[in-house]
């Protein structure tokens, strides 16, 4: 037993729980913890330019590598409130991050002291646990409990708020006897597995819906083994993308209103049984429950009991960690196969594969300005199977999910439910910090990129090289497309004549912000691409710059102002705004009645930029 300051004990616990890196911004109320971090020297620290950025870095760090937990640190008051968006994003997608905030002295709480806010109450709805530690002796045990909570059941974030006098107080702590608390994960029973597999075996046209819980459980290999054993095609959700390789013959495409494949939706509409594992029936995946569930039976497996029946009641629900459940499913299905009782799915799987090979969207366009589809086509050709994509929301993300390919778990790092603009850049830095060897490619529209563009300086300062693809149409593209339903285009244009653009420079007149100049001013490298003829040389140059200078490299593509990306309000009525490829004329193609109008809109001249000044 040793006597030490409470913050010294906190740092010791962080070390024992496997923390080796933290992201944050120091301040007066958290400086005692920073002093302890400096004294120990065991936990590296990356200084963010914005505290929200630190929380997203911790989020990307946790998502990129199995078993890691990102830590973000801030001072009292606005630092904690700035990190609320990061906590919400992590909570919504079942990501464990630890947020540590400083706080005013206990005697000053609830007395309107400078930068004193009840962050515990504010953070409670967006965390698994939020606590202000009011007794110094509790500090090491609160940190121990935090890791137990983050790892148990459905993962999620925790906030620990430390009054400055609690940090500085001396306590007794026995480091030598400290041990992590074992995480709790519910497991399916043999009888549950037998019933679920019997239901699957009886179905005519079954599908497996693979959610993010499979990736959280590191169960992707088990998923593929289960699919191959049963012959049942797999529909990954947006959060489960990569749990089965895109080119696997049983990968049947994604389903949904936006981030979906034509063949995925078509296959789902032909199915009559859905076996959901580790998914949450998110509304961008399902559309209305009535359309999604019509004519189908459902089994739902999830680690969180309150997820079963939250969106709709399945025909059978199992509360279980995805890996534990899949091991049992494989065992039971394997026994049926040995007995010759496992149903042959060759014809059904073949029909699904035929749709996958035939029902495609066109991506090859040679127009100038560029169409976004062509950008993703080129990315597929340039980037290898190990490339990790990081993105949040917008037409850039939606088109990316429709056209890119993902082959491994944790190679699609996407803020799926919260979708805050600005998340992509700091999350990519966090992913790079977690895995120095993997190629990280971030994907943003111009507005997402501008939200937290200052964090590029962090990548330059700490030598965190990655490639940031910015598709620039100088629009809030997704909101503009949504405003079509209101017959307006109101306050969604980012275009203006930039008075600082050099007349003989490379900046595009009327497109507003010069992202290349800003990126270079923040210590990074940047390239602008305007023509399809420049793609291959630009990607090669970006790779060279990234390796040579070890900083983020921005690759900006100048798009046409208006491109409508395929989406709809139901899985059976997605509007295909662009020309559709169909390699098999026998397959029916749904084309919206408004297709003609949207094509005219897409070809219309760009609206004149607002006058400068």
DSSP assignment of 56-118: HHHHHHHHHSTT--EEEEE-STHHHHHTHHHHHHHHHTT--EEEEEEE--GGGTTTT-TT---
Kindly state the helix (H) or strand (E) to which residue 379 belongs, with its residue range: helix 372-382
Q: Looking at the predicted structure, is the pLDDT value of residue 489 above 90? A: no
Q: Residue 504: which pLDDT band, with cuts at 50, 70 and 90? A: low
Q: Residue 611: which pLDDT band, with cuts at 50, 70 and 90? A: very low
Q: Residue 109: which pLDDT band, with cuts at 50, 70 and 90? A: confident
Sign of CA dihedral 148, 149, 154, 160: negative
Three-state DSSP string of 409-437: CCCEEECCCCCCCCCHHHHHHHHHHHCCC
Supply φ then ψ for residue 193, to 5 degrees. -65, -40
Which pTM value belongs to this model?
A: 0.91
- Mean pLDDT over 101-115 rounds to 85
Q: Looking at the predicted structure, is the pLDDT value of residue 416 above 80? A: yes
Residue tagged active-site, from 479, 518, 581, 595:
479
* Interatomic CA distance for residues 571 and 266, integer angstroms: 9
Task: Scan for tokens 């912000």, then name that residue.
Answer: 513
* Interatomic CA distance for residues 262 and 356, integer angstroms: 8
DSSP assignment, residue 246? T
Segment 526-567, tens digit of pLDDT = 999 999 999 999 999 999 999 999 999 999 999 988 888 888
Superfamily of structural domain 362-558: Thiamin diphosphate (ThDP)-binding fold, Pyr/PP domains (3.40.50.970)
72-81, 493-502, 596-605, range with greatest mean pLDDT: 72-81
* Interatomic CA distance for residues 310 and 226, integer angstroms: 26
* Interatomic CA distance for residues 365 and 368, integer angstroms: 9
Widest CA span in the chain? 78
For residue 450, CA distances in Å to 38, 84, 280, 551 come to: 33, 20, 31, 18
Residue 605, pLDDT score: 35
- Mean pLDDT over 218-246 rounds to 97
- Mean pLDDT over 86-110 rounds to 93
Segment 143-190, tens digit of pLDDT = 999 999 999 999 999 999 999 999 999 999 999 999 999 999 999 999
CA neighbours within 13 Å on the CB side: how many for 579? 8
**Mean pLDDT of the chain, nearest integer:** 91
CATH class of the 2-177 domain in this structure: alpha beta
Instruction: Pull the structure tokens for residue 153.
Output: 């059941």
- Mean pLDDT over 571-590 rounds to 68
| 3-class SS shares of the chain: helix, strand, coil, % to 5 | 40, 20, 40
Which region among 210-224, 264-278, 288-302, 567-581 has the lowest average model confidence (pLDDT)?
567-581
**Is 342 marked active-site?**
no
Residue tagged active-site, from 149, 476, 513, 529:
476
Q: Looking at the predicted structure, is the pLDDT value of residue 409 above 80? A: yes
Residue 585, pLDDT score: 58
Instruction: Pull the structure tokens for residue 279.
Output: 């998914």
Q: Looking at the predicted structure, is the pLDDT value of residue 293 above 80? A: yes
Residue tagged active-site, from 25, 30, 197, 303:
25
**Is 71 marked active-site?**
no
Which region among 167-181, 216-230, 326-340, 597-611 has the lowest average model confidence (pLDDT)?
597-611
Helices and strands (H, E) in the chain, number of each type: 25, 23
Environment class of 604 (CB within 10 Å of its CB; exposed 0-12, middle 13-18, buried 19+): exposed
Q: Looking at the predicted structure, is the pLDDT value of residue 24 above 50? A: yes
DSSP assignment, residue 29? G
Is the link from the previous residue into 2 a cis peptide, with omega within 30 of 0? no
Q: Looking at the predicted structure, is the pLDDT value of residue 59 above 80? A: yes
- Mean pLDDT over 490-498 rounds to 84
Instruction: Pull the structure tokens for residue 24.
Output: 């944050």
Residue extents of the structural domains in the chain: 2-177, 190-359, 362-558
**Is 51 marked active-site?**
yes
Q: Residue 604: which pLDDT band, with cuts at 50, 70 and 90? A: very low
Which region among 113-122, 221-230, 296-305 has the lowest average model confidence (pLDDT)?
113-122
- Mean pLDDT over 194-216 rounds to 97
Segment 363-392, tens digit of pLDDT = 888 889 999 999 999 999 999 999 999 999
What residue spans of 314-345 are helical by DSSP H? 322-338
Q: Residue 500: which pLDDT band, with cuts at 50, 70 and 90? A: confident
In sequence order, what are the residues at sequence separation of 6 or more whose Cβ sits closer than 8 angstroms to the Cβ of residue 546? 465, 466, 467, 525, 552, 553
Angle formed at CA 218 by CA 314 and CA 330, multiple of 5 degrees: 60
Which region among 128-137, 410-419, 501-510, 563-572 has the lowest average model confidence (pLDDT)?
501-510
**What percent of the chain is modeled with pLDDT above 70?**
93
Q: Residue 110: which pLDDT band, with cuts at 50, 70 and 90? A: confident
Asked if residue 278 lies in contact with residue 239, where contact means CB atoms within 8 angstroms, the answer is no
Q: Residue 237's closest CA among 273, 266, 261? A: 261
CATH number, span 190-359: 3.40.50.1220
Residue tagged active-site, from 95, 404, 421, 441:
421
């Amino acid at each position: 037993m040793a006597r030490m300051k409470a913050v010294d004990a906190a740092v010791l616990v962080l070390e024992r729980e496997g923390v080796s890196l933290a992201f944050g911004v120091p301040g007066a109320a958290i400086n005692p913890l920073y002093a302890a971090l400096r004294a120990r020297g065991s936990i590296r620290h990356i200084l963010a330019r914005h505290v929200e950025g630190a929380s997203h870095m911790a989020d990307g760090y946790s998502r990129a590598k199995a078993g890691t937990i990102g830590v973000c640190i801030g001072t009292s008051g606005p630092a904690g409130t700035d990190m609320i968006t990061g906590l919400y994003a992590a909570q919504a997608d079942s990501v464990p991050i630890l947020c540590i905030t400083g706080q005013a002295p206990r005697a000053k709480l609830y007395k309107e002291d400078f930068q004193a806010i009840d962050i515990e109450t504010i953070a409670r709805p967006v965390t698994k646990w939020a606590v202000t530690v009011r007794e110094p002796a509790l500090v090491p045990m609160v940190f121990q409990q935090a890791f137990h909570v983050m790892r148990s059941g459905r993962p999620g974030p925790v906030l620990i708020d430390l009054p400055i006098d609690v940090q500085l107080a001396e306590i007794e702590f026995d480091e030598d006897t400290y041990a992590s608390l074992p995480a709790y994960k519910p497991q399916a029973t043999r009888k549950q597995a037998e019933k679920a597999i019997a239901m699957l075996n009886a179905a005519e046209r079954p599908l497996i819906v693979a959610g993010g819980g499979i990736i959280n459980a590191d169960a992707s290999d088990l998923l593929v083994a289960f699919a191959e054993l049963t012959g049942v095609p797999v529909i990954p959700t947006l959060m489960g993308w990569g749990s089965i390789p895109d080119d696997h013959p049983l990968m049947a495409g994604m389903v949904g209103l936006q981030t979906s494949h034509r063949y995925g939706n078509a296959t789902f509409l032909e199915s009559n049984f859905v076996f959901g594992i580790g998914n949450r029936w998110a509304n961008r995946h399902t559309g209305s429950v009535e359309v999604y569930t019509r004519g189908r039976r459902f089994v739902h497996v999830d680690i969180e009991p309150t997820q079963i029946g939250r969106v709709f009641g399945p025909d059978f629900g199992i509360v279980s960690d995805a890996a534990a459940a899949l091991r049992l499913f494989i065992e039971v299905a394997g026994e049926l196969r040995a007995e010759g009782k496992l149903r042959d799915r060759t014809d059904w799987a073949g029909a699904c594969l035929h749709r996958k090979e035939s029902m495609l969207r066109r991506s090859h366009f040679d127009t100038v300005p560029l169409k976004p589809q062509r950008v993703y086509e080129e990315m597929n050709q340039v980037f290898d199977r190990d490339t990790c994509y990081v993105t949040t929301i917008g037409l850039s993300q939606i088109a990316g999910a429709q056209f890119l390919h993902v082959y491994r778990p944790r190679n699609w790092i996407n803020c799926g439910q919260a979708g805050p603009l600005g998340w992509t850049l700091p999350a990519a830095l966090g992913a790079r910090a977690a895995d120095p060897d993997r190629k990280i490619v971030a994907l943003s529209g111009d507005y997402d990129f501008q939200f937290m563009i200052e964090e590029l300086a962090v990548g330059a300062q700490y030598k965190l090289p990655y490639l940031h693809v910015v598709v620039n149409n100088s629009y809030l593209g997704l909101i503009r497309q949504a405003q079509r339903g209101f017959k307006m285009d109101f306050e969604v244009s980012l275009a203006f004549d930039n008075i600082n653009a050099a007349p003989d420079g490379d900046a595009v007149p009327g497109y507003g912000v010069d992202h290349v100049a800003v990126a270079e001013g923040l210590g990074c490298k940047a390239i602008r691409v305007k023509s399809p003829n420049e793609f291959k040389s630009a990607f090669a140059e970006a790779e060279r710059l990234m390796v040579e200078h070890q900083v983020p490299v921005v690759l900006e593509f100048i798009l046409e102002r208006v491109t409508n990306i395929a989406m709809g309000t139901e899985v059976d009525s997605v509007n295909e705004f662009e020309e559709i490829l169909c390699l098999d004329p026998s397959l029916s193609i749904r084309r919206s009645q408004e297709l003609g109008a949207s094509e005219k809109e897409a070809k219309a001249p760009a609206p004149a930029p607002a006058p400068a000044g």
